[in-house]
Amino acid sequence: MTTEVTVTSAGHSAFAVEIAAGAHHLTADEAKDLGGDDTGPPPHDFLLAGLGACTVMTLKLYAARKKWPLEQVAVRLTRRKVKAADCPDCVTKDGDVEEMTREITLTGPLDAEARARLLDIASKCPVHRTLTGEIKIRTALV
């Protein structure tokens, strides 16, 4: 399956861009203190949103298949740079590492076993697997 997203400079700001993803149109920008006009979320927020959306969808789908009483899923995501030397479970040992934290809230009368299984399933959502697997970005000037 091939997915296509087009991103074009918006012209009205140093960083603002227009994003076309199928029939959907979004704007990304940087905060004013970084030189943007803050007309949309910054690019890294879209990355976190993609992971969060995929996590919620995956957990809802899995719970529905199991006929578990999952009423709602909420995911709070944060990212920060940490020194690789301060990250004991990181492969990289020099420089900085991007660290994402995902906090999942499950609402509904789920037992401890179902909650534990859903936590495990969160790491199997397609975006999580993309971000933790090998990624090759091929760039061409056209």
CATH code of the domain containing 67: 3.30.300.20
Tokens (6 digits) for 63 = 């719970």
Rounded CA-CA distance 5/100 in Å is 24
| Predicted structure pTM score | 0.91
**Helices then strands (H, E): number in the chain?**
3, 5
Please indicate, yes or no, if residue 27 is contained in any of the structural domains.
Answer: yes
Residue type present at position 19: I
Q: Provide the pLDDT for residue 86.
A: 85
Clarify whether residues 114 and 63 are in a common domain. yes
Please indicate, yes or no, if residue 72 is contained in any of the structural domains.
Answer: yes
Whether the CB-CB separation of 78 and 43 falls below 8 Å is answered with no
- Residues of the chain where predicted confidence (pLDDT) is lower than 70: none
Q: Provide the pLDDT for residue 93.
A: 85
Q: Provide the pLDDT for residue 12.
A: 76
Burial class for 35, CB neighbours closer than 10 Å (0-12, 13-18, 19+): exposed
Tokens (6 digits) for 125 = 């959502």
Clarify whether residues 57 and 117 are in a common domain. yes
Please indicate, yes or no, if residue 65 is contained in any of the structural domains.
Answer: yes
Name which of 132, 135, 137, 48 is nearest 91 in CA terms. 132
Provide the residue range defining the domain that includes 15.
1-41
Residue 101's φ and ψ, nearest 5 degrees, are -115, 130
Rounded CA-CA distance 64/99 in Å is 31
Angle between helices 43-66 and 112-122 (to 10 degrees): 140
